[in-house]
Structures are given as structure tokens and as C-alpha cells.
């Protein structure tokens, strides 16, 4: 504090204070060291020449230039057709997935289905969820052949796991009051579902269905890469032939279409959820 010796602080002539002991940091340090070791081992064992990692941005930049400095728009009409194929895959897959997963998910919800059925259904959802979609698709495509239809099928089946989980979670977190009212008036399970559960969960379920479509659009491009058709197939072909100007155009198409659908879907989902609250307010009797 020699630099401050000449300046009087308000604390000059101050008595010594009783500083409590700082808390122990050993546990946090041990965890940090453990994580650090795991990361270092993983990184070191990888068959990558880390010293040349610095070259990567330059190489990538070179290819980015090849792709985007003058994208090849000649193939654009075909790209659009293939894009619609991918979107159709995504849409039909989403429709199929929602039609199957929604009733199954409802049955898997506490308060709707019996315990043994709920258990089985939830296990099935969990297993489907654990399998990466692409592998599920590959399995299906191996058996049924590589076509956009089977791609749609694969998307539909792969989505059941997550979609079913969202359905039963939504139902279980909905207000129980309405269901109780229907039961008290003498209704059975079907009537409870129709009059109490459905109005409460319908907006959320529709929102999830639309979100499934959003996810499927991305996955349909991936399925195309492994051969199911659509924009992914076109992309894989032109990348393999190293025709970078076309690849650039295709990437632009993929990004723009995905972003457009994200924005539209997001807006619709927001309107669904907002509409749900206004309708609830209107029907509140006072």
C-alpha cells in the first residue's frame, strides 16, 4: 500500500478487523481437475493433428469462397422440386407420427391409462427415443428400400418416442380441476378426455405437432444424405462430385427454407398458445 501512504484514507487509524476464514475450494478444484483430465485424454487420443488445427479456418474459407462467390443457380428449379420432396417427407412423417403418438401418449398419461399399459408404453417411447433417428431410418430403409415414402415412415416412427413423451407430460401437467368436475357429474374416462382434457391440452399438443414438423424438416435433409431422396440426396451427390458452386446454391436453399419454416412455425405456435389463453379468458364465467 506504499503508493497510498501519502493519501489519507477514511480508514486510517483503523482497528484490525476479524476476517472470517475463506470457504474451502478443494471439492470444486477436484471436480475441475477431473473434468480437465477427461477432456485432455479425449482430445489427445483423437486422431487429429492439433498442430495443424490452425490451418482449418483458412482451408474452410477457401471452400466457402468456392461455394458462395458465385453460386450456380442453373440447378435451382430442380433444387426446389427436391426441397418439396423433403418437405413432403417431413410433413407426412409428422402427420403419421402425431396420429400415432397422440393417442398412445394419452394412454400413457397418469389418470388416463392403467398402470401396466403406461409402463409398457413409456418404455417403448424411451427405447425409440434413445435410438438416433438416422440409425432408425437406416434400419427401416434397409428393410423397406430407399424411397421418400420410407423416409417419411422413418421420420414418423422415430418421432414417436419424443412426441409421446411430450403428450403425456402435457396431459399430466394440465389442471386436474376440470377432469374432477366431469367425473363428479358422472362422466366416464372417454367423456373426461373429450370435455376436460382435450380443451386444456389441445393448444399445447398442436404446438408440439408443429414443432415436430420443424424438426422433421432438418432430419429429412439428413435422411436424404443417406439416400432417402430429397434435397439431402442432391446435396450429397454434388458434394461427392466436388461441384462447389452447386453445393453453395444448395446450402443457401437449405438454410433459407429452414429459416423460413422456423419463423412461420414459430409465429403460428405463438398464436396458438396466445389464442389458448384468450379463449380461456373469454369462457371464464363470472
Partner 1 sequence: MAEQVPTNTAANFGPSATTPWSIHMTDVSVTYPNGTHALRNVSLSIDAGEIVSIVGLSGSGKSTLIRTINALVPATSGTVIVGGNDVTQMRGRQLRELRGHIGMIFQSFNLADRTSVLNNVLVGRFAHTPTYRTVFGRMTAADKELALRALDSMGMIEKVWLRAGSLSGGQKQRVAIARALTQEPSIMLADEPVASLDPPTAHSVMADLGRINAESNLTVLINIHSVDLARQYANRIIGLREGEVVYDGPAAETTDADFEMIYGRPIQTNDRVGAES
Partner 2 sequence: MTVPTTAPLAQPATPLRQSGLSGLPPRPHHAWRTVGIVVALGAFTTLTLMPAIGGIQLDFTALVRNWSNSLPTIRQLLRPDFAFLPRTIAPMAETLEMAVAGAAFAAIVSIPITLWAARPSNPNPFTRQLVRFIININRAVPDLVFAIVLVAMLGVGALPGFVTLFLFDLGVVVKLVSEAIDSSDHDYIEAGRAAGGTQTQINRVTVLPQSWTLYANQWLYSLELNVRISAILGIVGAGGIGRLLDERRGFYAYNDVSIIILEILVAVIVIEFASNALRKKLR
Task: Give residues in contact with partner 1 (CB under 8 A).
Answer: 1, 3-4, 7-15, 17-20, 22-23
Indicate the residue among 17 and 285 with the shorter CB distance to partner 1. Answer: 17
Helix (H, G, I), strand (E, B) or coil at 147: coil
Give whichever of 88 and 189 is closer to partner 2, judged by the CB atom: 88
The binder of 23, among partner 2, partner 1, none, by C-beta within 5 to 8 A per type, is: partner 1
Phi/psi zone of residue 13: left (φ > 0), alpha (ψ -120 to 50 degrees), beta? left
Specify the residue, 89 or 174, whose C-beta has the smaller distance to partner 2: 89
> Which residue, 85 or 269, has its beta carbon nearer to partner 2?
85
Q: How many other CB atoms are there within 10 angstroms of residue 52's CB atom?
A: 9
Name all contacts of 100-105 with Cβ < 8 Å and 24+ positions apart. 100/156, 100/160, 101/159, 101/160, 101/163, 101/164, 101/167, 102/163, 102/167, 102/205, 102/209, 104/160, 104/164, 104/167, 105/163, 105/164, 105/165, 105/166, 105/167, 105/168, 105/171
CB 33 to partner 1: min, Å: 19
Q: What residues line the site for partner 2 (CB under 8 A)? A: 38-39, 42-43, 45-48, 56, 59-60, 63, 80-85, 87-89, 91-92, 95, 127, 130-132, 134-135, 138-139, 142-145, 147-150, 152-153, 218-219, 221-222, 225-226, 232, 235-236, 239-240, 242, 247, 251, 254-255, 258-259, 262, 282
CA angle 120, 122, 126 (to 5 degrees): 115
In the bound complex, what is the minimum distance in angstroms from residue 239's beta carbon to partner 2?
5
Closest approach of partner 1 to the CB of residue 32, in Å: 15
Instruction: Find the shortest distance in angstroms from Cβ 31 to partner 1.
Output: 18
Give the distance, in angstroms, between the CA of residue 245 and the centroid of all CA atoms in the same chain.
30
240 binds, among partner 1, partner 2, none (CB under 5 to 8 A by kind): partner 2
Smallest gap, in angstroms, from Cβ of residue 18 to partner 2? Answer: 26
Are the CB atoms for 94 and 159 separated by under 8 Å? yes
Q: φ and ψ at 277, to 5 degrees?
A: -70, -40
Residue 26 binding partner per list partner 1, partner 2, none, with a CB distance cut-off of 5 to 8 Å that depends on partner kind: none
Partner that binds at residue 91, options partner 2, partner 1, none, CB closer than 5 to 8 Å by kind: partner 2
Q: What are 185's three cell numbers?
A: 357429474
User: Which among 217, 78, 235, 100 has a CA at the least distance from the CA of 152?
Assistant: 217
The residue (of 16 and 42) whose beta carbon lies closer to partner 1 is 16
Nearer to partner 2, 189 or 239 (CB): 239
Amino acid at each position: 500500500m506504499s503508493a497510498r501512504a501519502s493519501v489519507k484514507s477514511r480508514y486510517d487509524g483503523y482497528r484490525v478487523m476479524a476476517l472470517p476464514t475463506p470457504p474451502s475450494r478443494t471439492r470444486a478444484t477436484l471436480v475441475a481437475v477431473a473434468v480437465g483430465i477427461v477432456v485432455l485424454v479425449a482430445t489427445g487420443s483423437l486422431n487429429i493433428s492439433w498442430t495443424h488445427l490452425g490451418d482449418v479456418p483458412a482451408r474452410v474459407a477457401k471452400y466457402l469462397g468456392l461455394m458462395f462467390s458465385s453460386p450456380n443457380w442453373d440447378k435451382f428449379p430442380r433444387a426446389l422440386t427436391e426441397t418439396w420432396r423433403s418437405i413432403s417427407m417431413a410433413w407426412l412423417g409428422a402427420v403419421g407420427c402425431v396420429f400415432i403418438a397422440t393417442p398412445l401418449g394419452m394412454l400413457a398419461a397418469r389418470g388416463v391409462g392403467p398402470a401396466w399399459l403406461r409402463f409398457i408404453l413409456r418404455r417403448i417411447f424411451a427405447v425409440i427415443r434413445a435410438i438416433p433417428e438416422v440409425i432408425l431410418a437406416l434400419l427401416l430403409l434397409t428393410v423397406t428400400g430407399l424411397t421418400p415414402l420410407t423416409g417419411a415412415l422413418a421420420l414418423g416412427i422415430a418421432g414417436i418416442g419424443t412426441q409421446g413423451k411430450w403428450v403425456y407430460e402435457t396431459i399430466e401437467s394440465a389442471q386436474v380441476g376440470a377432469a374432477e368436475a366431469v367425473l363428479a357429474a358422472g362422466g366416464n374416462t372417454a367423456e373426461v378426455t373429450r370435455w376436460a382434457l382435450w380443451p386444456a391440452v389441445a393448444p399445447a399438443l398442436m404446438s408440439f405437432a408443429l414443432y415436430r414438423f420443424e424438426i422433421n424438416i432438418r432430419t429429412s435433409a439428413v435422411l436424404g444424405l443417406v439416400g432417402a431422396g430429397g434435397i439431402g440426396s442432391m446435396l450429397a451427390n454434388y458434394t461427392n462430385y466436388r461441384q462447389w458452386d452447386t453445393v453453395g446454391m444448395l446450402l443457401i436453399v437449405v438454410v433459407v427454407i429452414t429459416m423460413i419454416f422456423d419463423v412461420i412455425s414459430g409465429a403460428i405456435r405463438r398464436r396458438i398458445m396466445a389464442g389458448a389463453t384468450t379463449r380461456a379468458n373469454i369462457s371464464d364465467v363470472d
